[in-house]
A = this chain, B = another copy of it.
Amino acid sequence: MYSFVQTPFIIGTFICVIGTMPSAFAAGEHKQILLDVANDKFTPAWEVSHKEWGGEKWSVKLRSLHGGKQEGVQVIDVDNGVMTFTIVPTRGFGVWKAKVGDLRLGWDSPVTEIVSPAFIDLNNRGGLGWLDGFGGWMVRAGIASVGAPGMDGVPLNLHGNIDHTPASYVDVRYEGGKEPKLVFKGVVNDTQMFGPNLQLKAEISTPIGKPEITFDDTITNLSDAPQEFESLYHTNFGPPLLVAGAEFIAAVSKVSPRDARALEGDLVDWNKYTGPHQPGYTEQVYLMELQGDKNGNTSTMLKSADGTKAAVMDFNIKELPAFSLWKNEAPSRTGYVTGLEPATNFPYPRPVERSAGRLNVLRGGESHHATLVVRALTSKTEVTAAAEAIAKLQKSEPAVLKTPLNEQK
């Protein structure tokens, strides 16, 4: 089945597909450019699957959303045979949601629409406008700044521009062979005159038939002048992984509370979940340095209460040395969610990170690269094995500090 038409209204789509018919069936690699602003190429809707490009069962579908706050947002629905997920080029090439069988990766935000950046004012509510569109699963924060709003020469809004910047280039590749995969490339420009001139090249890939997704990001300073940057992967989970009894597992070297609120409970079972709690509950954030193998590779895991399900995140602490655990065990309809957030630094305001020596700088033309793999585990065997693998990375006892990180001497 090859359905070209998203809705009956967009007859143009039919013409579109004829005009950009994918290359003939063949083994090996196929590629389709879906968006290329510099070359005036735009695709409102498009589909491809294994039937056209070969291999086991998979499909890719580009759609344009219309109406409400979603007007003009483009999404790419991906099905790799066992895992489905939705990339949002219009929202910084993030991933709105993912699913493996009945294991949903994502959460129930009060924000249910994939809001277009056109309807978002990042400076709203004193710089908290980022929250007005916050509902995705893997939401990038940055790439010039992350963290709470505050002054840094100019006022910085919560978590920067990248999640509200539409991609300028998007393509999709199918790479056949022994380990066939789908690769989606997005280019997002966080550039201003007299401001940051940073470019994100993001590759999101998924192996056919595996419950796994890889984020391979390169941030480049396009300017001649040095430029600070900050990058944080705001990866958010609600039920079914997040329920009372769920647990965060990592090879922690040092964990600190972000603030006085995170000190409540005295860091006993800081990595365990007991919610959802009553109205009035406020978020708790724990800031960590992790241990990795000799190459710096590490894993963190969010484990379901019964140990039969988990999401594992693999990354390298040389690329992403600062890990934040955001516990927002609020009532179910108020944003019940936890965030596992590997990052280049912690989400304090940028001046705090600069003072602490955690703020990275890219020289003109220089790039920073990071890879993040998320695996969805759906059996006790897998979960147990992953937990054991993380335990092996734990070479020393974790230091559990009782002072907020930004107050430590």
Contacts and interface: CB of A to CB of B under 8 A. Distances in A.
Contacts of A128: 154, 194-195
A122 B121 contact: yes
A191 interface: yes
Interface of A is mostly: loop
Interface stretch (A67-75, A238-246, A248-256, A317-325): A67-75
B193 A131 contact: yes
Interface residues of A, number: 78
Interface in A341-394: 364
One complex includes copies of this chain to the number of 3
B131 A192 contact: yes
Lowest 10 CB-CB distances: which A-B pairs, in order?
A224-B331, A225-B279, A8-B19, A42-B66, A37-B68, A118-B118, A42-B67, A125-B154, A68-B168, A131-B193
Given A40-B65, A68-B167, A280-B225, A333 B122 contact: no
A308 interface: no
A24 interface: no
A234 to B, nearest CB: 11
B192 A111 contact: yes
Contacts of A63: 40
Interface centre among A194, A280, A334, by most chain B C-beta atoms within 10 angstroms, is: A194
Contact of A334 (B71, B197, B335): B197
A73 to B, nearest CB: 10
28 contacts: A6-B40, A7-B40, A8-B15, A8-B20, A10-B12, A11-B12, A36-B67, A38-B112, A40-B65, A67-B166, A67-B168, A68-B167, A71-B118, A72-B72, A110-B191, A112-B189, A117-B119, A119-B166, A123-B123, A131-B192, A131-B195, A132-B193, A132-B195, A135-B193, A223-B279, A224-B334, A225-B279, A331-B364
